[in-house]
Structure 1
């Protein structure tokens, strides 16, 4: 299995996610992550329409001339020219100077072109992990069956060829749902899944189906979105606005559950965000977690949260209160 390190760097923020990030700040945050020992960096053409890959590639070209870092990027969203785009506006969640927007395309040719474009932007001789980006009903609704067939016949075939030739080390999915992961495991051979938000301190349903299948097949998981869109980072007891859950305003039952978890953490002198960040890593199939890191301060915070001691009594109390599942592995 690939050794990714417990903590990974997600490069969506340096693609100007929701707001502009100056070039020097983007460089600084990558440098801080590198200096902190992080060696797995994840990006995608969609993040800033190539901007994230360009910035990550420029920084690592100096920091990692030997190309020892593990890099993952994604395919399935090709960059379409938009010469008339308003580059100062938020487009598909990014404020980017790149005159493109991303268009879903899971065809063979699109995946091959996407891979070649990523290599150039990243300034790498190879890409370690290639994920199919946002395939599934969560992103595509009723269009999913046709797109999934297009992917199996085209894009997945391209990914297999790239892996079989040694151009990439591992292939998989980068998604927000478990259903398409199971569908893919039934249909073909993948090595790794980046799963956003579905195996967290709030959600452990993958213990029923996905995680046992991954264990049986030797498929690694990378957990993105360990804070469930922010609510597990900030909590609900601070008196301010309630953070989002799963990209939307949190339902009252979610707010109540987070509050109960937060209260138990407080009784044990543990930050809610520390418990949220460390929890997924206890499962043996989880290779890494990817929290948001948009600044050097957030890198430092993630390192500190990962190192925060958590007493066994906290996990025991969460189990006793039925706030995490009895069969969920917990950190030692």
Structure 2
């Protein structure tokens, strides 16, 4: 019996040993499935790009052909002086159309037109002349000035001009302390708008396009410089630049806009030769704006001989090209220079 019991114990222990070996072997041959590897980090955060809707470009300006956010019912026409003490002026680089005209001594004065909003200062503002009033009336503009010369008051009344004179409406102008009088009078379009509303000048419809606008390629040979001599005391030069516009110089110095500290650049330059004569002891000029005459158009590096005609003060001046049609200009600002017959205009090709 004892032998049988020992044999049974032995067999039992042997069986357990075999089972243990088999379990260990199975465990050793079992490969656990590794968890999936996390995605590699690229170092770049994924972002959702939301496509912004483009803002409406606005309507083309009737004065520049470029899109603007707003077009006034009528433009503001601001008289800005050009004596050396007035330089650098403010706001001229933003004006859509600028007239440069001679006054006493054939020193020039500017008539700057704004048909769309502009927030910065404009000036220095100076007094009106009869021919400046006529030009402002041609565009149905609101003339901003400080006083006027002899005979101008009668013209303003005769043509029923819309105008704001600082002498009686100082609220719409301001004087700055950094300059001496009378070269320190400035205004803004927002100030003038308050006065224009008070005088009921804002009623009306947007003006018709001042020019026909067209894009054109720059020619192989360009007009690289333009020289305008109003008198021995006033010489203007334009030089072609890399932006395909003309940079202005006055009496040999770069012509700066004080609002930005940068040179004034002009896209289109019109020369309108006019009859001018001195008719007072103070040197006031009479300039003939009606009838017809010769002129020049500099635009996009080209020059074209043109003619101008105006049948009456109530009518618009027409600039006629060599083909007998009204001129076409590049989109952008235009400066019109009324040069006396005694003046001189020269240019060079490159």
Structure having the larger proportion of residues in helix: 1
Structure having the larger proportion of residues in strand: 2
The TM-score with structure 1 as length reference comes to: 0.26
The TM-score with structure 2 as length reference comes to: 0.25
Q: Give 1 or 2 for the bigger CA radius of gyration.
A: 2
